[in-house]
């Protein structure tokens, strides 16, 4: 039986198919170089876990906007906070969450754009199994800078997602 299989065209076909399917997988796993530097480790108590900040555009009286590249290691997140002038997040790598108070946490991924309205209490950070990189654009800073609130507890972090079943139709926070 073995010999019949080895000499058959089917066996060769299996080898060719197997080789072809492994190639794209390898290419997909190749890490691309980050666009912006990792920056400095954030030592602020307004964050839980390990996160890094590279300031790209500091606030000034022409733009009233600051732009920073932020990297959250798995499970790292901001405290609850709000921006008097709003904020826009551009997710450039990884996977994480964005949650507004009294709503479910939304899964956010590379390529997502999140508009955070002024004075909206929220947090953002990495998922438990992936880091998250986003560019944080804080706008209208003449209205005031970020207002930091309480930490996102482990319970909030672990339970804030929308359940997979639709048995619980309304947010429970
Ligand atoms: Mn924010």
CATH number at residue 92: 2.60.120.10
Among residues 95, 63, 92, the alpha carbon closest in space to that of 76 is found at: 95
Residue 29 located in a structural domain: no
- List all residues 6 or more positions away from 95 whose beta carbon is below 8 Å from its beta carbon: 107, 108, 109, 110, 126, 127, 129, 130, 132
pLDDT of residue 161: 82
Confidence label for 27 from pLDDT (cuts 50, 70 and 90): low
Residue 119 located in a structural domain: yes
Confidence label for 162 from pLDDT (cuts 50, 70 and 90): confident
pTM across the whole model: 0.78
Work out the average pLDDT over 146-166.
87
* CA 126 / ligand 1 centre spacing (Å): 13
Residue 15 located in a structural domain: no
* CA 114 / ligand 1 centre spacing (Å): 10
Residue 65 located in a structural domain: yes
* CA 112 / ligand 1 centre spacing (Å): 15
Residue 150 located in a structural domain: yes
* CA 170 / ligand 1 centre spacing (Å): 24
pLDDT exceeds 50 at position 115: yes
Number of domains in the chain: 1
pLDDT of residue 30: 61
- For residue 130, give its domain range: 36-157
Residue 95 located in a structural domain: yes
* CA 12 / ligand 1 centre spacing (Å): 56
């Amino acid at each position: 039986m073995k010999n019949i299989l080895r000499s058959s065209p089917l066996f060769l076909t299996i080898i060719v198919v197997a080789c072809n399917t492994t190639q794209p997988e390898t290419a997909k796993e190749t890490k691309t170089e980050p666009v912006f530097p990792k920056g400095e480790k954030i030592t602020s108590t307004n964050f839980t876990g390990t996160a890094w900040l590279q300031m790209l555009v500091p606030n000034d009286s022409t733009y009233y906007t600051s732009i920073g590249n932020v990297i959250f290691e798995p499970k790292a997140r901001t405290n609850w906070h709000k921006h008097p002038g709003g904020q826009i997040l551009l997710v450039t790598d990884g996977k994480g969450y964005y949650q507004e108070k009294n709503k479910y946490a939304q899964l956010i991924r590379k390529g997502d754009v999140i508009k955070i309205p002024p004075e909206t209490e929220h947090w953002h950070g990495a998922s438990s199994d992936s880091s998250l990189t986003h560019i944080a654009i804080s706008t209208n800073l003449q209205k005031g800078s970020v207002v930091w609130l309480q930490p996102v507890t482990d319970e909030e972090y672990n339970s804030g997602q929308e359940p997979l079943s639709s048995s619980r139709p309304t947010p429970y926070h």
